[in-house]
Amino acid sequence: MSSHAASGVSGGWALHRSVTLLRVFLVASAGILLIGAIILGWLLTTAIQRQSLDDARASLTQYVDGVLRPQLVRADRLHISPHLPRQLKAQLRRQPDLVSVKVWRPDGTLVWTNRAPERIGRRFPSAVAGDLGETIALKRAHASINKLGDDEDAAERALGLRHVFEVYAPIMSSDGRHALGAYEIYAKPDRAESFIASRKRVIWIAVIAVFAALYAALALLVRHASSTMQRQAITLRARSRQLMDSYRRLEESSLEAIESLNATVDAKDPYTAGHSARVQRIALAVAAELGVAPERLDAVRFGGLFHDIGKIAVPDSILTKPGRLDEEEFQEIRRHPADGAEIVSHFSRLHEAVPLIRHHHERWDGNGYPERLAGDAIPLEACVVGLADAWDAMTTDRPYRPAMSVEKATAEVRRCRGSQFSPAVVDAFFSAFRRQSSLFEPDEPILDDAATA
């Protein structure tokens, strides 16, 4: 796949992913806003219901206390009065929602009621155990909409009521420190329920409208941001493609430059002309025989081709010297693997070949250079390039000796198996040699495009 195609696929995937993330974000936002709306609506409706009940409670309590307290409370005590003036009952009836009023002592004795007066003076222990006892103990009024009970509420049930707005309010002493008893006030719940229901509708409509507007604004904002990001991503991909094209052209130019440099090394010594290409060819054959992974063959290809590029720094007088090298000259030669690795390391496409170039003169027994690595510490591909280099050196003429015959060279390779060369690499070498002997002949190869790509 070309870099353009890969970039297009990557860009399409990134665009699809951004659209998917946008949808996920909007769905998640909708869920969060919905939950928030439900919670806020519930809190507001609960608060308005509580406030409405408290307002109705305060109004009823104030009205009833104003009518009854002067007649029932004397010297901070509640007095049982079955026969209150009729005008008081008439006053209570002026409150249209009022159903009944009971006045209780703390022990559960009914002091007075405007309905079924025969109950006055009776004691209802069950009343003390419930809301009445709590109201007197806490000295705090409360209100709720409840179902009627079966005993003390019999008169109210006889009116056909099944649930009422029920208020319990303490009757406090003149100093406000003690509860003398409590009012139990029953009112029709219709008005309170209607008021609460209307307020709930208003609240829910407002909450839904606000959160819908918030979601719409968020969706528009996110879509705008997403569109901006997509445009920027398209621009970035285009610039990335341009940059990759420029980088590829630069890399190709650099590779051509280093190939020219490598050709210069070969040209410095007429005896080694074509040496690098032959080493590359032999190394690839041996690597394939070893089963080297296809992605590693590029390292072998470039390592074989550029293994001697470090000799560019070696004087011609040493490279072409007809006799044996002295120690100082040999030390100069020994620097070329490290120098070559340093040169090649600056090219990203050749990074995988750096260890092959650096270590192709290491020996299996540890007596090689530059780092005296031994055995499996030497990269396998470096062992391959090293054997290919040695084979071509033995089978071609050199200034200091004529070429060996193939028979003598193969004998030398066998002799050095396990000392200079890796046993596995030697075995693969001979296996490839038997099947493709023409590849190992010291003739001038023609480099194909793949070899120099």
Tens digits of per-residue pLDDT, 71-83? 888 888 888 776 7
- Establish if 339 belongs to a structural domain: yes
Residue 387 belongs to what domain range? 269-452
Res 19: pLDDT:
60
- What's the rounded mean pLDDT across residues 409-423? 95
CATH number of the domain encompassing residue 362: 1.10.3210.10
- Provide the percentage of residues in the chain whose pLDDT is more than 70: 86
Residue 451 clears pLDDT 50, i.e. is over it: no
Q: Which residue has the higher pLDDT, 273 or 368?
A: 368
pLDDT digits (tens, 9 = 90+) for 47-80: 888 888 888 888 888 888 888 888 888 888 888 7
CA 179 – CA 77 distance, rounded (Å): 10
Determine the residue type at 48.
I
Assigned domain for 446 exists? yes
The residue type of 336 is: H
Token pair for 161: 């009521």
Read off the pLDDT band of 99 (50, 70, 90).
confident
The CA radius of gyration of the chain, in Å to the nearest whole number, is 51
User: What span, in angstroms and rounded, lies between the C-alpha atoms of 99 and 165?
Assistant: 9
> Is 90 a residue whose pLDDT tops 90?
no
Strand, helix or coil for residue 169: strand
The model's confidence at residue 362, banded by pLDDT at 50, 70 and 90, is very high
List Cβ neighbours of 418 (8 Å cut-off, separation of 6 or more). 364, 365
- Average pLDDT in the 355-381 region? 95
Question: How far is residue 397's CA from residue 312's CA, in Å, rounded to a whole number?
Answer: 20
In a domain, 366, yes or no: yes
pLDDT at 445 over 80: no
Is 429 a member of any domain? yes
Q: How many domains does the chain have?
A: 1
Cα 438 to Cα 445: distance, rounded to the nearest angstrom: 11
Average pLDDT of the segment spanning 170-181: 88
User: Would 258 be classed as within a structural domain?
Assistant: no
Does any domain span residue 221? Answer: no
Lowest-confidence pick of 83-97, 271-285, 420-434, 435-449 = 435-449
Q: Which residue is associated with the tokens 């420029």?
A: 246
| Domain assignment of residue 422, yes or no | yes
* pLDDT value at residue 270: 58
Instruction: Look over the chain and give the mean of its residue pLDDT values, rounded to a whole number.
Output: 82
Range with the lowest mean pLDDT among 23-27, 327-331, 355-359? Answer: 23-27
Say if 116 falls within a structural domain: no
Name the nearest CA neighbour of 180 among 127, 66, 103.
Answer: 103
Answer with the residue of higher pLDDT: 90 or 385: 385
Q: Concatenated DSSP letters for 2-52? A: -HHHHHHHHHHHHHHHHHHHHHHHHHHHHHHHHHHHHHHHHHHHHHHHHHH
Under the banding of pLDDT at 50, 70 and 90, the label for residue 1 is very low
